[in-house]
Amino acid sequence: MAQVTTHGAAAASAPRTHKEPWYKVLYIQVLIAIALGILLGWLNPEWGKSVKWLGDAFIALIKMMIAPIIFCTIVHGIASIGDLKKVGRVGLKALVYFEVVSTVALLIGILVGEVVKPGAGFNADVTKLDAGAVEKYAKLAANDSVTSHIMALIPKSFFDAFATGDLLQVLLISILTGVVVTGMGQRGEAITHAIDTAGQIFFRIIGLVVKLAPIGAFGAMAFTIGQYGIGKVIDLAWLVGTFYVTAFLFVVVVLGGIARVAGFSIFKFLAYIKDELLIVLGTSSSETVLPHMMTKMRRLGASDSVVGLVIPTGYSFNLDGTNIYMTLATLFLAQAVGADLSFAQYATIILVAMLTSKGASGVTGAGFITLAATLSAIPNNPVPVAAMTLILGVDKFMSECRAITNLIGNGVATVVVSRWEGELDQVKLRQVMEHPVSIGTDISDHAPNMDVDGAAPIPAPAR
């Protein structure tokens, strides 16, 4: 893709000195909106619940663009590579990374659950649990199997994947289309150019929509506090706190260690994506920042081809936060009802969770459904699915942490796989990490080397 340059070399070599007023900075706006949402939900729960539609509307606006953006990005990425062997190599490296790190996340959830024992002393009476409260989740989990996962990959029609917004189905048709376009020669180049142009249009639309993030975060947070109340968190504070601390340690120790090997600091990376983290915190959905993350990973020095393949795939296959949640929550429920799990049941939990977590994208509540599927698949299970009613009230408060951890994990994975491919721009990586504030976060311009408003491109590294 051609890089856009509108100024001379001198302008390109120096970062912009213009600084926006604090009240125009997106992450500050989101922070204020979250605080106001919490306050409204606490002081006036009914009013807080009534503004839920603001959060739903923002998420819906983002989701309507996810499928076409993924399609355009993956098709353009595969066609631009022009080497299907490389596409397969990148995909295989990404999947291997996903499985290894996801398995570590599952094991950490079990380890913390066994050491901390957040459910010990809860003494829940199984006979008095309200199974009806989680009936809809149990029904969804009952249809979860290897066969159902395979069949769920196939849309009813080419356009049905776009209509439903199913990420795995969009991935399938995107990969198939990219492979075909790659083999079309000169005609394929014209199609690739058209798809890239369409992608720029979709990114510009997202650039407009994301400005509404504070409103969406306000509505979503006000509803959460108004619906469930802060009291629910206090009642199960030990579980919620354990999960948040575990996720934090996973990010700092595991992902931080991986980042260090890859040549960057996890803390500087978190500072770089702080806008996205706050939007996810407010909306409980990592899908709301998927396009934003793709652009930011390009600006960080990851290659277009790797970003286009790893980020969308990671949203379905690399869910570190969800994996920690599933094993930790399973042990909490077992301890809460006084059930002892055998080694074979522990092994089953890990194997089943590795399957059920796939396809549980950044949609709010997906982690709760996968937990139900995991519990349902444990042989001779002493933990009834009805036990999930114990954490139903606080699941929403943990979904934010799941989504944030998933997002960070996918960002780190993108940099790592790009490095493995020898396509990580180390100079740009260091520049952006050292001066994250000077790099614009607006994604309205799809060109990966273009700064926020066209004023000056990010300095090109020496070759």
| Dist CA 405 CA 286 (whole Å) | 9
Which candidate, 166, 185, 137, 86, places its Cα nearest to that of 367? 137
Residue 350 buriedness (CB in 10 A; 0-12 / 13-18 / 19+) = middle
Q: What is the DSSP letter of 357?
A: T
Q: pLDDT value at position 188?
A: 82
The string of pLDDT tens digits covering residues 256-278 is 999 999 989 999 999 999 989 98
Give ∠ CA 139-142-148 in degrees, rounded to 5: 120
Read off the pLDDT of each residue in 331-347 and give the average, rounded to a whole number.
Answer: 84
Q: Above 70 in pLDDT, residue 349? A: yes
Give the distance between the most distant pair of CA atoms in the chain.
Answer: 74
Domain range list for the chain: 17-438
Q: pLDDT value at position 260?
A: 93
Please name the amino acid found at residue 136: K
Token representation of residue 179:
């492979």
Read off the pLDDT of each residue in 450-454 and give the average, rounded to a whole number.
Answer: 35
- With a CB cutoff of 8 Å and minimum separation 6, the contacts of 115 are none
C-alpha dist (Å) from residue 296 to 96, 211, 402, 447: 23, 16, 21, 11
Q: pLDDT value at position 458?
A: 36
Whether 188 and 178 have beta carbons less than 8 Å apart is answered as no
Residues, the chain, total?
463
H helices within 44-124, ranges in order? 45-50, 52-81, 84-116
The string of pLDDT tens digits covering residues 293-311 is 988 998 999 988 788 888 8
The string of pLDDT tens digits covering residues 232-265 is 667 678 888 999 999 999 999 999 999 999 989 9
DSSP per-residue codes, 190-249:
HHHHHHHHHHHHHHHHHHHHGGGHHHHHHHHHHHHHHHHHHHHHHHTHHHHHHHHHHHHH
Q: Name the pLDDT band for 10 (thresholds 50, 70, 90).
A: very low
pLDDT top residue among 139 and 185: 185
Question: Poorest-confidence range of 38-42, 186-190, 229-233?
Answer: 229-233
Q: Name the pLDDT band for 449 (thresholds 50, 70, 90).
A: very low
Whether 323 and 109 have beta carbons less than 8 Å apart is answered as yes
CB atoms within 10 A of CB 382: 16
Which candidate, 297, 301, 323, 283, places its Cα nearest to that of 410? 297
pLDDT top residue among 413 and 21: 413
The string of pLDDT tens digits covering residues 360-386 is 554 455 666 677 777 777 767 677 777
Read off the pLDDT of each residue in 129-138 and give the average, rounded to a whole number.
Answer: 53
Residue with tokens 């150019």: 193
Whether 389 and 297 have beta carbons less than 8 Å apart is answered as no
The string of pLDDT tens digits covering residues 312-334 is 888 878 889 989 998 998 898 88
pLDDT top residue among 142 and 430: 430
Q: pLDDT value at position 457?
A: 37
Q: pLDDT value at position 55?
A: 85
Indicate the CATH number for domain 17-438. Answer: 1.10.3860.10
| Dist CA 175 CA 254 (whole Å) | 31
Helix 167-182 with 185-209: angle, nearest 10 deg: 150
Please name the amino acid found at residue 275: D
Q: Name the pLDDT band for 4 (thresholds 50, 70, 90).
A: very low
| Dist CA 150 CA 456 (whole Å) | 47
